[in-house]
Structure 1
Amino acid sequence: MKTKIIKAEEALIYCKKMESYFFDRKAFGIQPRQIEKHAVAFANADGGELVIGIADDSEEADPINRWKGAKNYEDFNDYIQCLVRLNPSVNFRYTFLKCEDREGIVLLLNIEKGNQVHKTSDDSVYVRHSASSILYRDPVKIQELSFAKGTSSYEDELVTNIPLECVVDSTELINFLHDISPKSDPLEYVVNQNLVDADSFEPRVASILLFSENPQANLPRKCGVKIARYETREDDPERDHLKHVYTIEGPLYKLIYSTIEKVTEIMSSIQIWTIKGLKTVEYPPEAIHEIIANAVIHRDYSISDDVHIHIFNDRIEVFSPGRLPGYVTVENILDARYSRNSKIVRSLNRYKNPPNKDMGEGLNTAFQKMKEWRLKQPEIKEEHNGVRVVIPHTPLATPEQAVLEFLKNNDMIRNRQARELTGIRSENAMKNVFYKLRDEGFIERVPGLEGSNAAWRKVKKH
């Protein structure tokens, strides 16, 4: 039986903490079957923390009065026993919290993501969505959940040749714990979060990826990011088109943000034709962030390969090792909620500035931002051993609209400019767009310009 004494400030943090995909709190006295419901929901999702003895917002508006613990440790027996009796069993650990300035004992449950479909004692299936535990009645939904639970994650594997100190003494972990509340000892945190084996104290892959100073040197598999800059628009670039290759390494939090920074820096040096003329290429920063973070967080780390980012003149391609997990498909990826690496997801979400703020909403945000910027939506392709997301820099407007919009701001347009503007690859296909606009009376050839210099302008009104 483990008891942790916390300060009044830490107790208040628990009382104020927003209920979320990874956290819930309930006042002491809640029925055990309700605890089953929330524990099962966490186990069927990506795990989380459940606190018993702190009222939720609907029960108590004032955070100061939400600490409503039990008098004795034994008062929690029914809650613990109801979870122990569940079949299949839920993997959980518990800690009792006591505060010097508050009366009552609080129970903190850390619930792991399960590898089966978990049910309450009355055979109900609940799954955590946002800050709620949702009942699944549809047999199809339960079957999909069953498919997803059939996969294991390399993040859980033990790394036997790396000392624990590589994780618990790292600057990354110390800085991470400094910024989160309540405060925790490094060893205590990684054990409670099941990032190391509680018996052998061997680190799991997730802990190395998250907190080792150099995971790429500690793990036997490639797990960094490679960025290549190609000065072309071709689908199959040649070696001469490759101008620069960059390698990004480090613990995952730094890896994500360093990659986003480097991609942004590279893009700032690329100029393309837009409807307003020759401009520095710009994509919605949120779309770049979400797609890169998604590729790093949800990749399959059992595959020895890096995340590859190819930056072309007219698009960015992000390749993430590993096929789509569980029941996720290209067709349902914006609606499905599944995390291959739940430990990584949960820990990154606890950073002060988490790269994965809204669980499951990253790609939705990317698609929405591309639409708001009037750019075509990203294209998601599942390949033999990975997933490729293509982020085009092509306007939503039809080629005809794009040409006419360009000519509002510019005197004339050439075939090459128009192809770059519209995303059309074929010179002849672009000519057909010009001919259509000519036949409809919108544009005309610029006199005196022939061959490769040929250009079109708006019809001059007399």
Structure 2
Amino acid sequence: MNTIELLELINKEESYHLEFKLEDENNEDFAKTIVCFANTDGGKILIGVDDNGNIIGVEEVDKVMFRLDDIAMNRCAPPVSIIQESVIVDDKKVVIVHIDKGSQRPYRTKSGQYYVRASNRCRQASREELLRIFQTNQSLYYDELPVTRAILSDLDLSAFKDFLSNYLDITIENNNDLKNFLINFHLLSKNDIPTITGILFFGKEPQKFIPEARVICANISGTDFGDTALEHQELKGTIPVMIIYVENFLKSNLKKLHQIKDFSPESEYEIPLTALREAVINAIAHRDYTISAPIRVILFADRIEIHSPGILPNTVTVESMKVGGSHVLRNPTIYNLLVKMKMVTDLGSGVRRMIKLIKEHTNKEVDLITTENEFIVKIPRK
């Protein structure tokens, strides 16, 4: 980095990826900043610049760099790799500390605190944020965690027996076998506590324990959220039940196109239900269940939008989804049950298949959008 680049950086002021510090900050505060950048999206610390962007400088560059290396190595767990350089402006020395997004997240300080970056400051990570980081790095899967307030009787065991019989051709003879199958499918912990997936698929009242596991459906008269809602439904129940409810909502609100084929009139929906079903099931299978928000299925006059809470799983991009074969699972236990129930394939080709169907049927493109909080599929209507 040269002098001009440094001055341009300072002029941008402190931000999500940039923090100013003086060298007399204590070691814990430096560790906190290093950890918060490593846990979030990386960033830079400019040492020798005050909060107002004034260049104060440091006394000895080597001493500061040695100190920061020691903090990153011994006061952050796991140790954080940093790269340092220095720039001189008007005889004042500034040390620039480069911190990449960590590959071993989450990181914590020596005092045991986890921090993340929020706007232009560092703050303690919430429980949900930590779970999300663990999920991203595949240190744990949220859908396998036990629901501590639930007990075995909160599961509909007869529904699970039907699942084994209908999809796996397995007949259960005794309760011990039943419990072993529940544990093997990660639906029940070894302490007889139902897991997230257990409640979502076989819970008697899933939303009692996981209220965010809902689907909101709306039919809007125009092309904007502010236009009149012709119909609005809040769908609850187990995942298989909600999938049926969404399909019924779509069938009752989509237009049917009629055409004469041979001697008989035939009708079909304006958008293939197979494509819409793919989009909805993908949202249910891959959404982030640590976020307290429902899935939203919204029919506008010119399009259908499916909003799924959470960003894309680690390494998955919109481009890789379009190509097909992008198969990083955020919720592998949920996905495994959907595979067993023949609702998805195990190939990661669902989005590509949906795009192809919509293109063939409407001659228009599906729009895939990622935001900070959700993934949106926009399907054009005829």
TM-score bracket, normalised by the shorter chain, equals: 0.5 to 0.7
Task: Give the one of 374, 378, 381 matched to 2:366.
Answer: 378
Match of 1:307 in 2: 295
Task: Give the one of 237, 259, 269 matched to 1:250.
Answer: 237
1:264 has 2:284 as partner: no
Q: Unaligned 5+ residue runs, structure 2?
A: 1-103, 105-133, 259-266
Task: Give the one of 201, 209, 226 matched to 1:218.
Answer: 209
Task: Give the one of 270, 281, 285 matched to 1:282.
Answer: 270
How far does the alpha carbon of each residue in 1:372-411 deviate from its partner, in whole angstroms, 9 at most, with x for none?
21431210101121101000025xxxxxxxxxxxxxxxxx
Match of 1:172 in 2: 159
* Change in CA separation of 1:280 and 1:287 when aligned onto 2, cut-off 3 Å: closer
Q: Distance in 1 between matches of 2:162 and 2:338?
A: 13
CA contact (8 A) 1:307 1:319 kept: yes
Q: Distance in 2 between matches of 1:183 and 1:280?
A: 39
C-alpha displacement at 1:157, in angstroms? 1.8
CA contact (8 A) 2:305 2:378 kept: yes
CA contact (8 A) 1:256 1:292 kept: yes
* Change in CA separation of 1:358 and 1:369 when aligned onto 2, cut-off 3 Å: farther
SS in 2 for 1:216: helix
Match of 1:330 in 2: 318
What one-letter code is carried by the residue in structure 2 that aligns with 1:262? F
Match of 1:205 in 2: 196
C-alpha displacement at 1:149, in angstroms? 4.0
Q: Distance in 2 between matches of 1:316 and 1:346?
A: 27
TM-score by length of 1: 0.47
Task: Give the one of 310, 330, 333 matched to 1:340.
Answer: 330
TM-score by length of 2: 0.57
SS in 1 for 2:283: helix
* Change in CA separation of 1:312 and 1:295 when aligned onto 2, cut-off 3 Å: same
CA contact (8 A) 1:268 1:281 kept: yes
1:227 has 2:217 as partner: yes
C-alpha displacement at 1:175, in angstroms? 1.9
CA contact (8 A) 2:186 2:197 kept: no
SS in 1 for 2:345: coil
C-alpha displacement at 1:213, in angstroms? 2.5
1:298 has 2:290 as partner: no
Q: Distance in 2 between matches of 1:347 and 1:331?
A: 27
Q: Distance in 2 between matches of 1:229 and 1:147?
A: 34
Q: CA RMSD in A?
A: 2.6
C-alpha displacement at 1:330, in angstroms? 1.6
Q: Distance in 2 between matches of 1:243 and 1:306?
A: 20
SS in 2 for 1:343: helix
Match of 1:388 in 2: 376
SS in 1 for 2:320: coil
Q: Distance in 2 between matches of 1:270 and 1:228?
A: 21
SS in 2 for 1:333: helix
Q: Distance in 1 between matches of 2:308 and 2:158?
A: 27
Which of these two proteins has the greater Rg computed from alpha carbons?
1
What one-letter code is carried by the residue in structure 1 that aligns with 2:352? N
Q: Distance in 2 between matches of 1:214 and 1:362?
A: 29
Q: Distance in 2 between matches of 1:152 and 1:381?
A: 27
What one-letter code is carried by the residue in structure 2 that aligns with 1:337? H
* Change in CA separation of 1:281 and 1:182 when aligned onto 2, cut-off 3 Å: closer
Q: Distance in 1 between matches of 2:208 and 2:334?
A: 19
SS in 2 for 1:313: coil
1:181 has 2:163 as partner: no
How far does the alpha carbon of each residue in 1:313-343 deviate from its partner, in whole angstroms, 9 at most, with x for none?
1110000011100111122123321111101
Q: Distance in 2 between matches of 1:300 and 1:386?
A: 9
* Change in CA separation of 1:147 and 1:165 when aligned onto 2, cut-off 3 Å: closer
Aligned length: 235
Q: Distance in 2 between matches of 1:177 and 1:148?
A: 31
Q: Distance in 2 between matches of 1:193 and 1:367?
A: 32
Q: Distance in 1 between matches of 2:185 and 2:348?
A: 21
Match of 1:69 in 2: none
C-alpha displacement at 1:280, in angstroms? 8.4
How far does the alpha carbon of each residue in 1:164-203 deviate from its partner, in whole angstroms, 9 at most, with x for none?
1212x444213212212233443121111222212x1211
CA contact (8 A) 2:186 2:198 kept: no
